[in-house]
């Protein structure tokens, strides 16, 4: 995605809050409750962040009601914007180590 498009996505209301909150995987309902974002808006923002490849579907665990719930986590740990020589946007991807640790923790939690 082009730098100016990323700036537009990041400038939309709630998107940066959602990215900040998804260092750990969370459902749309969790994000809605935690950030006080209407649930319909939360889903629209999640879709927008997924399309920009800033957020990803992490898992679909069973809820207490035995329904599959989608949980999301951010794909990036940082965004650097530079205006000195024109617009430049650098994304700092989540490290492979963090992704593996998340996967191990998810597998341990699922087996209990």
Distance CA 35, CA 109 (A): 25
CB contact burial 15-51 (16+ within 10 A = b; e otherwise): beebbebbeebbbbebbbeebebeeeebbebbebbee
Q: Residue 103 corresponds to which tokens in the numbers above?
A: 């996967």
Query: Per residue in 41-66, pLDDT tens?
Result: 999 999 999 999 999 999 998 888 88
pTM above 0.95, yes or no: no
Query: Per residue in 65-84, pLDDT tens?
Result: 889 999 999 998 888 877 88
Which one is predicted more confidently, 101 or 76? 76
Q: Is the domain defined by 3-110 classed in CATH 1.10.10.10?
A: yes
**Per-domain residue ranges for the chain?**
3-110
Q: What are phi and psi of 13, to 5 degrees?
A: -55, 135
């Amino acid at each position: 995605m082009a730098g100016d498009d990323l700036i537009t996505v990041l400038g939309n209301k709630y998107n940066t809050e959602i990215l900040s909150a998804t260092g750990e995987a969370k459902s749309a309902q969790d994000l809605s409750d935690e950030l006080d974002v209407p649930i319909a808006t939360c889903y629209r923002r999640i879709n927008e962040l997924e399309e920009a490849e800033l957020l990803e579907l992490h898992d679909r665990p069973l809820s207490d009601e035995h329904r599959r719930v989608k949980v999301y986590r951010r794909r990036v740990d940082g965004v650097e914007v530079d205006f000195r020589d024109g617009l430049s946007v650098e994304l700092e991807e989540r490290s492979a180590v963090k992704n593996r640790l998340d996967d191990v923790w998810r597998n341990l939690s699922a087996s209990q």
